[in-house]
Amino acid sequence: MKTAEELKQIVKDKYGEIVEKSSTKKTCGCCGTSEKDYTVFSSDYTILEGYNPDADLNLGCGLPTQYAQIKKGDTVIDLGSGAGNDCFIARALVGDKGKVIGVDFTEKMVEKAKENARKLGLANVDFVYGEIEDIPLPDNTADVVVSNCVMNLVPSKEKAFAETYRILKSGGHFSISDIVTEGQLPDKIREEASLYAGCVSGAIDLKDYLDVIRKAGFRSIEVQQKVNNELPEEIYLKYMSREDWEAYKNNGFGIFSVTVYAQK
């Protein structure tokens, strides 16, 4: 069993590789941290105002900005901002008088995002290096927090949502897209580090996920979207026998993309 620090280093290394590869070819999506994996959770951003192809590394599992009720003049914080995709969408919504801050713990992602912001000439979009379990921003900063397929990668979701609560203003809210499960995820897959970096084995049961949010102090919790996103069979067969796979299919298990809303 890997420690929290080992898991975080795996994620950081994998997403650093994605940045390096992005200059030459399209990456393989949230669950595609290697060429052998598959794009199964990513969403189409191209229809949204503010979309920038240089910032889209195909790493999300939803469109949280569509559900986040962002208004002109808001301060929006994106947790796990990557190359800036959701931040630039949020910037189109907050306008010139608003502010958008992206937080990411992969140095190469922060550098890439800042480069993209410079190219776009956006003075009110900033990116900072830091962990979601210890966000380097003051209390009561954000009107809205968004995040896209990132919380599932954080070892301590309790700390992550406690920090989300801290940085939100009173009456503020979040809209977070993420990967969750229903039913028991097979241990062989949960232990697989490459899948951990690619969304799946860091995911927890939806009921437990909502309970973490509730215990952090949030109210008006709502699942805004839920989409069944089962992985291809061949991925499971890399880690289990055909017999185990047949038994697994019959136990009611599912992998879902969800977008969750809650207020402080």
The CATH number given to 4-263 is 3.40.50.150
Q: What is the spatial distance between Cα 151 and Cα 155, in angstroms, rounded to a whole number?
A: 8
Which has the closest alpha carbon to 78: 143, 7, 140?
Answer: 143
Which has the closest alpha carbon to 223: 259, 257, 181, 173?
Answer: 259
Q: Which region among 28-37, 43-52, 224-233 has the lowest average model confidence (pLDDT)?
A: 28-37
Contacts of 208 (CB under 8 A, 6+ apart): none
Per-residue pLDDT, 35: 38
Task: Tell me the pLDDT of the chain averaged across its residues.
Answer: 82
- pLDDT of 23 > 60? The answer is no
Please report which helix (H) or strand (E) contains residue 8, including its range. Answer: helix 4-22
List, for residues 231-259, the tens digit of each pLDDT value: 677 777 877 788 887 877 777 677 888 99
* pTM check: above 0.95: no
Please count the residues of the chain.
264
Average pLDDT over residues 22-40: 46
> With bands split at pLDDT 50, 70 and 90, how would you rate the model's confidence at 166?
very high
Contacts of 111 (CB under 8 A, 6+ apart): 19
- pLDDT of 39 > 70? The answer is no
Pairing of strands 99-104, 125-129: parallel
List, for residues 185-217, the tens digit of each pLDDT value: 667 666 654 454 455 657 889 999 999 999 999
List, for residues 141-154, the tens digit of each pLDDT value: 999 999 998 898 88
- pLDDT of 29 > 60? The answer is no
Report the Cα 146 to chain-centroid distance in Å: 9
Q: What is the spatial distance between Cα 164 and Cα 154, in angstroms, rounded to a whole number?
A: 13
Report the Cα 208 to chain-centroid distance in Å: 17
- pLDDT of 21 > 70? The answer is no
> With bands split at pLDDT 50, 70 and 90, how would you rate the model's confidence at 100?
very high
Percent of the chain residues past pLDDT 90, beyond the cut: 50
